[in-house]
Amino acid sequence: MASSSSCSRRYDVFPSFSGEDVRKSFLSHFLKELDRKSINTFIDHGIERSRPIGPELLSAIRESRISLVVFSKKYASSSWCLNELVEIHNSFKELNQIVIPVFYGVDPSHVRKQAGEFGEDFMKLCKGKNEDQKQRWMQALTEVANMA
């Protein structure tokens, strides 16, 4: 199975991030460097942000060798980011995808434990959501934040 998952990679890197926090600062510089090194990175221009993650985004996540998750202050206040994270976590478990967490202006333990301001934003987002959804998000946050 490992060989079949490694030959269908369309992208080298899939970045998951809260655009509000990092798009014009950290991420723009990082993406420019990846491009300079001819690293094929998924760019989400023009994807409509709807509740469920669309098939285009799902396949981009699954067809990437590496997912780079940029945890920032607003990451946990976005159901879009958290749904992406669940899919990235699934790709890690099922397809042996490499996942690299980056902590940008946020304490890693706050992400792991959904604590501090990060946790407060997460709990606000979880209001009205079903318990199953909340548990999937919590598991993905904890496990991805624990990756070295």
Domains present along the chain, CATH in parentheses? 2-145 (3.40.50.10140)
Distance in angstroms (rounded) separating the CA atoms of residues 22 and 73: 10
User: What pTM does this model have?
Assistant: 0.87
Residue 141 near residue 81 (C-beta atoms within 8 A): no
The yes-or-no verdict on residue 3 having pLDDT over 70 is no
* Annotation marks residue 84 as catalytic: yes
Whether residue 19 is predicted with pLDDT greater than 90 in this model: the reply is no
With 0-12 / 13-18 / 19 or more C-beta atoms within 10 angstroms meaning exposed / middle / buried, residue 145 is buried
- Terminal Cα-to-Cα distance of the chain (whole angstroms): 24
Give CB contacts under 8 A, 24+ apart, made by 119-126: 119/76, 121/73, 121/74, 121/76, 121/77, 122/76, 122/77, 124/77, 125/76, 125/77, 125/78, 125/79, 125/82
- pLDDT at residue 115, rounded to an integer: 97
State the catalytic residue, choosing from 63, 84, 120, 143: 84
Q: What is the pLDDT of residue 22?
A: 82
Burial grade of 19 (CB within 10 A; 0-12, 13-18, 19 or more): middle
Label residue 47 by pLDDT band (50, 70, 90).
Answer: low
139 or 21, greater pLDDT = 139
